[in-house]
């Protein structure tokens, strides 16, 4: 437990010292959403319909683009192996990596959703549905992205490979995420789609933690 907390604290400190590179995902999201709105000709009736799916896509792609922050730095400079030698198992390294990736990279993306929804003139309940659905999807999104990061390891090329690898796993999350965002308007938080989405997220977490640990082990010993 203490190793877990220490690694997460270290990740926060490192993010604070990284001269803002933790925020690249946010910048990507801002650019992606503005360009989408411009490509859609700024037509508010269209934008209002496209807002929720576009923000979902932006969050997903921003997460994949920032996958290099998950494990590749540690694998590149040998920290993963050093931690393992000093008795921190791969399992706790993968758990703490996924947690800090979710907290540092993904939470800002989700929590700024109200700001982005201004670009698309979304109504209040729509924004609430969007945020709650994104929060439900957050563990799954973090788990699959981090797994892709651990698999590509030190060879990550700006998240391109992560997109190839995790695209199939993200399909169910996108499907249920969109469904949950829509269902909120009619049935609120009690809608069954939210439970399905959160269940999916937890399943993703359960599969990804050991798989990420195995990938870290495979990437460390040669």
Distance set, CA 176 to CA 75, 165, 197 (Å): 33, 20, 6
Q: Report how far Cα 104 is from the mean position of its chain's Cα atoms.
A: 10
Binding footprint of other proteins on the chain (CB under 8 A): 147, 151-153, 155, 161, 164-169, 171-172, 175-176, 179, 200, 203, 207-208, 211, 214-215, 218-219, 222
Nearer to other proteins, 28 or 176 (CB): 176
Please tell me what DSSP assigns to residue 191. -
d(CA 52, CA 127): 8
Give the shortest CB-188-to-other proteins separation in angstroms. 21
The first and second tokens of residue 93, run together, are 């390294």
Q: What share of the chain is helix, strand, coil (3-state, %, to 5)?
A: 85, 0, 15
User: Are the C-beta atoms of 121 and 48 separated by less than 8 Å?
Assistant: yes
| CB-nearer residue toward other proteins: 88 or 207 | 207
Whichever of 6 and 157 has its CB closer to other proteins, that residue is 157
Based on CB atoms, which residue is closest to other proteins, 70 or 104?
70
């Amino acid at each position: 437990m203490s190793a877990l907390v220490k690694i997460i604290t270290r990740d926060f400190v490192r993010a604070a010292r990284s001269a803002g590179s933790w925020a690249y995902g946010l910048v990507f999201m801002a650019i992606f959403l503005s360009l989408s709105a411009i490509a859609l000709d700024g037509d508010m009736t269209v934008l209002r319909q496209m807002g929720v799916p576009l923000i979902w896509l932006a969050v997903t792609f921003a997460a994949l683009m920032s996958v290099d922050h998950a494990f590749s730095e540690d694998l590149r400079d040998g920290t993963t192996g050093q931690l393992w030698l000093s008795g921190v198992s791969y399992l706790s390294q993968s758990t703490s990596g996924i947690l800090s990736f979710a907290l540092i990279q993904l939470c800002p993306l989700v929590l700024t959703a109200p700001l982005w929804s201004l670009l698309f003139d979304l109504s209040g309940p729509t924004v609430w549905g969007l945020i709650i659905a994104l929060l439900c999807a957050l563990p799954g999104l973090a788990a699959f992205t981090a797994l892709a990061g651990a698999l590509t390891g030190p060879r990550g090329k700006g998240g391109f490979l992560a997109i190839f690898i995790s695209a199939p796993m993200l399909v169910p999350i996108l499907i249920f995420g969109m469904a949950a965002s829509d269902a909120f308007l009619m049935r609120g938080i009690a809608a069954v789609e939210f439970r399905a989405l959160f269940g999916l997220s937890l399943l993703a977490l359960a599969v990804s933690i050991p798989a990420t640990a195995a990938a870290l082990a495979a990437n460390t010993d040669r």
